[in-house]
C-alpha cells in the first residue's frame, strides 16, 4: 500500500513537471513568434521555419545592453562564427555560422535561455529564429559637420591632471557666499557647472555682459589658449569659460549656443574620459562624434550656428569596437563593428568669446539676433487658379521637399482600415497610390501590383530606396492610362488643394484612372476632431503639457507639417526608439471658413477654428515622444530653446467638414459612393467607378 502511494505521488510530481515544461515551451514559442512579427514589421526581415546558417537573436542587442564581447563568447560555444552583426540601438543581433549544423546546435541550446548582461547585472531571456540571409545595409560613412574639428591629444596627461586639479568643486561649494569668490558654481540636473569670466544664465540662455566675474579665466588656461590662437583654431582669445563635470549617466540637452551671447569659434576640451557627442542638422541628419580623452572640439561656422549638439544621458555609448572608443571621428552604423563602451566621469572645459554686437550670421532661422527681421506676410486665401497654384507651390510642394527626410521618419505604421481595403482587393489587382509619400502603403499586399506617385521628388526617392515603384507627378494630372487601374488610394492628399474646384478635379482624376467597377479609397483631414463625444488621437496626444501650448503665429514661418493623427503618421506600437514629433493644442471652437483674409496659423493639437489654415511643422521636433528612448533629453516644444533650434515650416490645409467630401464625390456622375466613415480625425469615402 505504501509503495502504491509512493508511486502515485511520483506520478503526480512527474505530471506537474511535464506541465511546467509544457507551459515553459509554450511561453518560449509565443515570445519567439512575437520576435518574428516585430522583425518583419520594423525591418522587413522574414524569419523562416527551416534551419539555415543564419540566426536572429532577440534580446541580445546593443539596444538592450548586450556587448559584442559577451555575445561573441556566447555564440562561439556552438561553432565557427563567420559574421556577428549588431545594429545600433536595436534589441537584437544576427549571427552567421560556418555550417547549418552549427546554427541548429546554437538554436537548440540558446532559444529560451536566460543569461545575465555582464555590464548591467540584469537577467534576460534569448529568443532565436532562423533567417534566410541577412542583408543589412550599413550607413554610408558620414563626414563631420562643416566647420567642426576634433584634435587628438591636444594636451599631455600631466597637463590634464593639473587642469582637473585646478577646479576645486568642494572648496568653492563651501564659500559660495564669500564676495571674493571668482567663479559661479551650480549643480544642475544633468551635471555640475562652474563659470569663469562671465556667468552663463540658464534662465535666459545668455550672459550679462556688464557684470564680469572677478579674476577672469584660470591662469593654467592661458598657455593653452595662446597655443590655440597660434594654431588658428580660434581668431579671438576667449573671455568666458564653462567647466562641466558629468558622471556616467549624465548629459546635456541638444542645443545651439546662443548666437547673441558668443562669437563664432567655440572650443571644448574633454578631460578624464572619452564621450560620444550627438550633432543634428535642422533637416534631421544626425552625426555621432567620438571625443577622445584629452581632445579638443572646435565648432565654427555652420557647426556652431546651425547644428545642435548634446550628450545623451546614458551609462554606455555605442562605439566602433575595433577602435575601443579612442578614434576621433564619426560613429558609423557599421553593424559588424559596434559595441558598448562604459562611460566614466568626464570634465569639459568650454571656452567662448562674449559677443559685443548683434549676430549677423547667415542662419537667421536659428539666430536670436535676427528673429525680429524674419517677418513675412502670411498668405491670403486664393481667389483664382493662379493664386491657388502659387499658394500650393509655396506652402505644400516646397515644404515637403524641405522636410521629406524628417517627415518620412515619422510615417511608417499603416492605418488598419486602409490595410483592410488593400487586403480586400483581388490578387493581381493594379493599384495606384496617388500621393504615396514615403511609400508606406506600397508594400502592404504583396499580391497586388502597386505603383505610387507624389509631387515631392525627395519622398519619391525614399520610395525608390525601399525598392517601390513610384514617380513624380501632380495629383491633378497623373500620367497613367485611363481605365487601367483596379483600385486607387488617396490618403491625406486632397486637403492640400486650396479651392473646391481643384479638390473636385483631383477626385475626378482618380475616377479617370479606374476601370468600370474599380474602387477608390480617399482620406482627408476632418474639421471635427471631436466626433460622437470622442476626441481624435490628434487631440488626445496633447498630453496636457502646459509648456507645449504654443501658438506658432510668427512671421518667421518659412513654410508648413503633418500631424500624427494623419493616416501617414507613425503609430505607438514600435518597440524601438521611433520618434513621434508631438505638437501642442488648446481647446477650440467651431471652425469658420476663411473668406477674404489672411490664412490663420493653427495651434497644433487643438480643435480647428478655420477650414483653411496653415499647420506648423517643427523640423527638429523638441518634445519627448512615445516610443522614444527613456534616456533621451530634449527641450519642451514651447520652450525658448526649442523655438531657437527648430526651423518652423507651414503647410496649407483645407480641413473637411462632415459630409463635404461625400457631397463632392456625389457631384460626379461617373462614380458611386459605396461607403463613407470617420476614422480618427479623418473623413473617408470608398468610391466605385460606374
pLDDT in tens, 126-148: 988 898 876 555 545 567 888 99
pLDDT tens-place string over residues 54-111: 898 888 888 888 888 889 889 999 999 888 888 877 888 888 898 999 999 999 999 8
Measure Cα distances from 308 to 331, 556, 644 in Å: 17, 19, 10
| 159 pLDDT tier (thresholds 50, 70, 90) | very high
How close are the terminal C-alpha atoms of the chain, in Å? 85
| 549 confidence band (pLDDT: 50, 70, 90) | very low
**Between vectors from CA 486 to CA 481 and to CA 489, what angle results, nearest 5°?**
90
Listed in order, strand segments (DSSP E) in 605-678 are: 612-618, 648-654, 671-678
Residue 683 near residue 526, CB atoms below 8 Å:
yes
pLDDT at 103: 92
DSSP result, 232-276: TS-SS---EEEEEEE-TT--EEEE---TTTB-S-EEEEEESS-EE
DSSP-assigned beta bridge partners for residue 449: 430
Q: Maximum distance among all alpha carbons in the chain? A: 102
Supply the DSSP symbol for 601.
B
Residue with more model confidence, 295 or 560? 295
Q: For the chain, what is the radius of gyration of the CA atoms?
A: 29
% of the chain residues with pLDDT over 70 = 74
- Residue 227's contacts (CB-CB under 8 Å, 6 or more residues apart) are none
Q: Inform me whether the pLDDT recorded for 335 exceeds 50.
A: yes
**Residue 270: what pLDDT?**
94
Would you call 118 exposed, middle or buried from its count of C-beta atoms within 10 A (0-12, 13-18, 19+)?
middle
Structure confidence at residue 380 (pLDDT): 84
Bridge partners of residue 329, in order along the sequence: 290
Torsion angles phi and psi, residue 199, rounded to 5: -85, 130
Q: What is the pLDDT of residue 331?
A: 56
Q: Which helix (H) or strand (E) element contains residue 27?
A: helix 2-43
Higher pLDDT, 409 or 511: 511
275-280/308-311 β-pairing: antiparallel
Contact status, residue 216 vs residue 197, Cβ threshold 8 Å: yes
Q: What are phi and psi of 421, to 5 degrees?
A: -60, -45
Q: How far, CA to CA in Å, does 610 sit from each of 54, 389, 600, 604, 656?
A: 56, 20, 8, 13, 10
Helices (H), 414-456: 416-423
Q: In 53-99, where does DSSP find H-type helix?
A: 68-76
Residue 373 has pLDDT above 80, yes or no: no
- Residue 631: what pLDDT? 30
Question: What's the rounded Cα separation, in Å, for the pair 120 and 111?
Answer: 21
- CA–CA dist 539, 584 (Å, integer): 9
pLDDT at 426 over 50: yes
Q: What is the pLDDT of residue 430?
A: 98
pLDDT in tens, 463-492: 999 999 999 999 999 999 999 999 999 999
- The pLDDT value recorded for residue 666 is 95
| Closest to 258 (Cα-Cα) out of 374, 346, 371 | 371
Kind of pairing, strands 200-201 and 206-207?
antiparallel
Percent of all residues in the chain with a pLDDT value above 90, rounded to a whole number: 42
Tell me the DSSP string of 178-238: -TT---EEEE-SS-EEEEESSPEETTTTEE-TT-PPTT-S-THHHHHHHHHHHHTS-SS--
Q: Would you state the pLDDT for residue 231?
A: 87
Q: What is the mean pLDDT of residues 637-641?
A: 39
How far is it, in rounded angstroms, from Cα 323 to Cα 383? 63
* Residue for grid cell 554610408: 140
If one compares 191 and 521, the residue with the highest pLDDT of the two is: 521
How many helices (H) and strands (E) would you count in the chain?
Answer: 15, 34
pLDDT at 524: 97
Neighbour tally for 144: CB within 10 Å: 15
* Cβ density class 606-643: b for 16+ within 10 Å, e for less: bbbbbbbbbbbbbbbbbbbbbbbeeebbbbbbbbebbb
pTM of this prediction?
Answer: 0.47
CA distances from 642 to 30, 64, 161, 235, 368 (A): 43, 29, 37, 29, 12
Q: Are 268 and 240 in contact (CB under 8 A)?
A: no
**φ, ψ at 407 (rounded to 5°):** -60, -45
pLDDT of residue 258: 93
The pLDDT value given to residue 17: 59
Mean pLDDT (the chain, rounded): 79
Q: How confident is the model at residue 562 (pLDDT cuts 50, 70, 90)?
A: very low
DSSP 8-state secondary structure symbol assigned to residue 611: S
pLDDT of residue 12: 54
What pairing do the DSSP bridges indicate for beta strands 316-320 and 612-618? unpaired
Does the structure show a pLDDT above 60 at 622? no
Cβ 282 vs Cβ 619: under 8 Å: yes
User: How far is residue 577's CA from residue 625's CA, in Å, rounded to a whole number?
Assistant: 9
CA distances for 507 relative to 356, 436, 520, 521, 644, angstroms: 58, 15, 9, 10, 40
pLDDT at 552: 23
Asked whether 569 and 575 are in contact (CB, 8 A), the reply is no
In this prediction, residue 670 carries a pLDDT of 95
Over the stretch 173-212, which tens digit does the pLDDT of each residue have? Answer: 444 433 333 456 655 555 789 999 999 887 788 888 889 9
pLDDT digits (tens, 9 = 90+) for 276-311: 999 998 877 788 888 999 999 999 998 999 999 999
pLDDT tens, 235-266? 889 999 999 998 888 888 899 999 999 999 99
Contact 648, 364 (CB under 8 A): no
C-alpha cell, 272: 578624464
Nearest CA to 559 among 387, 408, 409, 365? Answer: 365
Residue 563 has pLDDT above 60, yes or no: no
pLDDT value at residue 185: 60
Q: Once rounded to an integer, what is the mean pLDDT over residues 399-407?
A: 92
pLDDT at 371: 73
Question: Distance between CA 660 and CA 523 in Å, rounded?
Answer: 12
In the predicted model, what is the mean pLDDT of residues 523-545? 76
Query: Can you spell out the DSSP letters for 126-140?
Result: -EEEEES-----PPP
428-458 pLDDT, tens digit per residue, is: 999 999 999 999 999 999 999 999 999 999 9
DSSP per residue, 284-314: S-EEEEEE-TTEEEEE-THHHHT-EEEE---
Asked if 481 contacts 500 with a C-beta cutoff of 8 angstroms, the reply is no
What are 164's three cell numbers?
582637473
Range 300-329 average pLDDT = 76
Q: What is the mean pLDDT of residues 539-560?
A: 36
Q: For residues 431 and 450, what is the distance between their CA atoms, to the nearest angstrom? A: 5
Contact present, 392 and 498 (Cβ < 8 Å): yes
Amino acid at each position: 500500500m505504501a509503495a502504491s502511494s509512493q508511486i502515485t505521488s511520483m506520478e503526480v510530481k512527474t505530471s506537474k513537471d511535464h506541465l511546467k515544461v509544457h507551459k515553459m515551451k509554450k511561453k518560449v514559442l509565443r515570445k519567439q513568434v512575437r520576435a518574428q512579427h516585430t522583425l518583419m514589421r520594423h525591418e522587413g526581415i522574414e524569419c523562416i521555419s527551416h534551419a539555415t546558417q543564419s540566426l536572429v537573436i532577440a534580446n541580445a542587442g546593443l539596444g538592450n545592453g548586450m556587448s559584442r564581447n559577451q555575445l561573441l563568447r556566447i555564440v562561439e560555444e556552438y561553432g565557427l562564427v563567420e559574421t556577428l552583426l549588431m545594429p545600433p540601438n536595436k534589441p537584437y543581433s544576427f549571427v552567421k555560422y560556418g555550417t547549418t549544423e552549427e546554427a541548429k546546435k546554437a538554436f537548440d541550446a540558446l532559444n529560451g535561455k536566460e543569461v545575465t548582461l555582464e555590464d548591467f547585472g540584469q537577467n534576460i531571456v534569448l529568443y532565436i529564429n532562423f533567417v534566410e540571409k541577412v542583408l543589412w545595409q550599413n550607413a554610408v560613412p558620414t563626414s563631420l559637420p562643416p566647420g567642426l574639428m576634433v584634435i587628438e591629444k591636444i594636451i599631455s596627461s600631466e597637463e590634464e591632471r593639473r587642469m582637473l586639479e585646478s577646479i576645486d568643486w568642494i572648496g568653492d561649494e563651501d564659500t559660495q557666499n564669500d564676495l571674493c569668490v571668482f567663479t559661479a558654481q551650480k549643480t544642475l540636473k544633468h551635471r555640475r557647472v562652474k563659470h569663469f569670466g562671465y556667468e552663463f544664465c540658464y534662465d535666459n540662455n545668455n550672459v550679462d555682459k556688464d557684470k564680469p566675474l572677478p579674476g577672469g579665466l584660470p591662469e593654467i588656461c592661458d598657455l593653452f589658449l595662446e597655443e590655440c590662437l597660434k594654431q588658428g583654431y580660434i581668431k579671438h582669445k576667449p573671455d568666458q569659460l564653462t567647466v562641466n563635470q558629468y558622471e556616467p549617466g549624465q548629459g546635456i540637452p541638444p542645443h545651439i549656443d546662443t548666437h547673441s551671447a558668443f562669437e563664432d569659434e567655440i572650443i571644448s576640451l574633454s578631460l578624464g574620459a572619452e564621450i560620444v557627442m550627438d550633432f543634428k542638422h535642422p533637416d534631421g541628419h544626425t552625426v555621432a562624434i567620438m571625443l577622445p580623452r584629452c581632445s579638443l572640439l572646435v565648432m565654427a561656422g555652420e557647426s556652431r550656428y546651425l547644428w545642435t549638439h548634446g550628450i545623451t544621458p546614458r551609462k554606455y555609448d555605442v562605439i566602433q569596437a575595433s577602435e575601443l572608443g579612442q578614434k576621433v571621428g564619426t560613429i558609423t552604423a557599421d553593424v559588424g563593428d559596434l559595441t558598448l563602451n562604459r562611460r566614466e566621469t568626464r570634465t569639459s572645459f568650454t571656452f567662448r568669446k562674449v559677443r559685443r554686437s548683434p549676430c549677423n550670421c547667415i542662419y537667421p532661422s536659428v539666430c536670436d539676433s535676427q528673429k525680429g527681421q524674419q517677418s513675412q506676410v502670411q498668405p491670403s486665401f486664393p481667389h483664382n487658379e493662379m493664386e491657388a497654384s502659387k499658394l500650393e507651390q509655396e506652402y505644400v510642394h516646397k515644404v515637403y521637399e524641405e522636410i521629406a527626410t524628417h517627415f518620412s521618419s515619422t510615417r511608417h505604421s499603416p492605418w488598419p482600415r486602409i490595410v483592410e481595403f488593400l487586403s480586400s482587393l483581388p490578387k493581381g489587382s493594379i493599384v495606384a497610390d496617388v500621393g504615396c509619400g514615403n511609400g508606406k502603403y506600397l508594400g502592404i499586399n504583396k499580391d497586388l501590383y502597386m505603383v505610387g506617385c507624389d509631387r515631392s521628388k525627395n519622398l519619391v526617392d525614399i520610395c525608390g530606396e525601399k525598392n517601390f515603384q513610384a514617380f513624380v507627378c501632380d495629383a491633378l494630372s497623373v500620367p497613367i492610362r485611363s481605365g487601367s487601374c483596379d483600385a486607387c488610394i488617396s490618403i491625406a492628399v486632397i486637403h492640400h488643394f486650396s479651392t473646391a474646384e481643384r479638390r473636385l478635379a483631383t477626385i475626378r482624376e482618380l475616377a479617370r484612372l479606374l476601370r468600370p467597377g474599380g474602387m477608390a479609397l480617399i482620406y482627408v483631414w476632418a474639421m471635427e476632431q471631436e466626433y460622437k463625444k470622442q476626441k481624435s488621437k490628434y487631440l488626445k496626444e496633447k498630453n496636457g503639457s502646459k509648456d507645449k501650448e504654443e501658438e506658432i503665429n510668427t512671421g518667421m514661418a518659412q513654410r508648413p507639417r503633418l500631424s500624427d493623427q494623419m493616416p501617414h503618421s507613425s503609430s505607438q506600437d514600435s518597440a524601438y526608439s521611433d520618434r513621434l514629433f508631438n505638437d501642442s493644442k488648446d481647446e477650440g471652437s467651431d471652425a469658420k471658413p476663411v473668406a477674404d483674409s489672411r490664412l490663420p496659423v493653427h495651434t497644433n493639437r487643438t480643435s480647428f477654428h478655420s477650414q483653411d489654415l496653415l499647420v506648423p511643422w517643427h523640423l527638429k521636433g523638441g518634445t519627448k515622444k512615445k516610443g522614444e528612448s527613456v534616456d533621451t533629453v530634449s527641450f519642451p516644444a514651447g520652450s525658448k530653446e526649442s523655438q531657437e533650434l527648430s526651423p518652423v515650416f507651414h503647410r496649407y490645409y483645407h480641413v473637411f467638414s462632415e459630409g463635404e467630401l461625400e457631397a463632392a464625390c456625389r457631384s460626379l456622375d461617373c462614380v458611386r459612393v459605396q461607403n463613407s466613415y470617420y476614422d480618427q480625425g479623418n473623413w473617408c469615402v470608398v468610391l466605385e467607378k460606374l
